[in-house]
Every structure is written in C-alpha cells, then in structure tokens.
Amino acid sequence: MTDRKSNSTTSYIRRRLNIIRRKIAGNYYVWVLLNSLLAIFKKDIFKKHCLQNLLRARDALDKLKIRYWLTDGTLLGFYREGDFITGDKDVDIGVMIEDWSEDLIKTFHMNGLKLLRINGNKAGGLEYTFTRRGVNLDVFFFYSEKDYVWHATWLGNEMIRYKFPPFEVKEAGFLGHRFTVPEDTEAYLVLKYGAKWRTPDKNWNWAKDPENIF
C-alpha cells in the first residue's frame, strides 16, 4: 500500500514538472505577466485571447469533422452574459470520446494551441489542456453510459466526475461568430451550477459545488 502511494506521488510530481517545463518552453509565464500588465490599461485582454483561442480550437475541430460544444464557464458566459466571464481566464469545450482523433493534438498545435497537459486516458476521464498566450483551453471528453453521459476534471490525482442526461447540440452566435452549444442550454447549466446560476458567485468551487458531481 505504501509503495503504491509512493509511486502515485512520484508520478504526480513528474507530471507537474513536465507541465512546468512546457509552460517555460511556451513562454506561458511571460504571457501571464504581460497580460496582467496590459490588463491595467486594456481590461479585456484576457477575453480577447480567450476568443482567439476558441476560434482556433473551433477551426481545428471543424477541420477534423469533430463535434464539439461550449461547456462549463465558457457556456455560462455565453448564455448569462453574452461574453466571457470577467476574471475567467480559460476556455472550456466538450467533445464525445467516440469522436477522439489521433490527429487532434497535432491539428491544435498547427493552429497555435500547444499541449500543456493530459489528464486521464481514453478509457475514462480524458482531458486535454492546451495553451496560447498565457490562456488555457480545456477539452473535456464525454463518455456515454446507458442513460447518461459524463466527463471528468482532475484535482491532482483525484478524478472528479460530472453527470448529464444525453443531450443534442445546436449552433448559436457568440461575439460575432458561430459556435456549437447544448440545445437546452439552460437545463445544462442548471445541472452544473444549480438554480442560482444567473447570479455570479465569486466563491463558487468547481471541485465541490457542482450539483451533478457523482
């Protein structure tokens, strides 16, 4: 048991070190600092990079003919505010695991989005995180079960799973562009953020507060 914990800890440290190396190689920390300084004079700089990253991801997925949709904080911003949420400095999209492609990482890279980390695997809980100009973009892979679908996020070595009923998607306009979103967007958001999703909550914790954790 002790050896298993030790191996798990060692594996986690190695992954964290690899992420730091990738951040350094991709000038991630330089961009974060630069964005923070620019935000003093141009408060929408993070939103600008979020939109650029989302467009690059959309174009890569369209090229591969992979279905996707806005999810999590990005979907909440789309539906509640018609914009990215102020202070939310990443982008979230969902993809069904059956649409996974071995060319996805390469195509994202060709579109300027560099792979930062991989959590989970194809068997369960797969999540890709890409980065560009100090702004991350998460791709959550959803898995189909008999009467629901689910995806995961990761808190260290802990996998946190979120459950949704099966849903369809549709096209919608967002910041002058067309993207794909869950057809019943409000029902999707209620499952994740609860009945008070319309009210911003600065203390909301993605690892503890979602109502569809299972």
Tokens of 161: 């799973």
Domain contains 152? yes
Query: pLDDT, tens digit, for every residue of 195-206?
Result: 999 999 989 999
Q: Per-residue pLDDT for 26 more than 70?
A: yes
pLDDT band at 19 (very low <50, low <70, confident <90, very high): confident
CATH number (domain holding residue 159): 3.30.460
pLDDT at 81 over 60: yes
In a domain, 199, yes or no: no
Q: How far apart are CA 44 and CA 38, in angstroms?
A: 9
In angstroms, the CA 38 to CA 45 distance is 7
- Domain range for residue 127? 2-193
Statement: residue 9 has pLDDT above 80:
no
Q: What is the pLDDT of residue 199?
A: 95
Q: Tell me how many domains the chain contains.
A: 1
pLDDT the model gives residue 28: 77
Structural domain contains residue 35: yes
44, HSE (Cβ side, Cα atoms, 13 Å):
5
Residues 60-87: what's their mean pLDDT?
A: 96
Amino acid at 59: D
pLDDT for position 4: 57
Residue 2: is its pLDDT beyond 60?
no
Report yes or no on 18 lying in a domain. Answer: yes
Residue 57 lies in a domain: yes
Confirm whether 209 is domain-assigned.
no
What pLDDT does residue 1 have?
58
Give residue-wise pLDDT tens across range 162-178: 999 999 999 999 999 99
Given a cut of 90, whether residue 46 has pLDDT beyond it is: no
The average confidence (pLDDT) of the chain is: 91
Between 108 and 14, whose confidence is greater?
A: 108
Specify whether the CB–CB gap between 68 and 93 falls below 8 A: yes
Q: Give bridge partners of residue 92 from the DSSP assignment.
A: 138
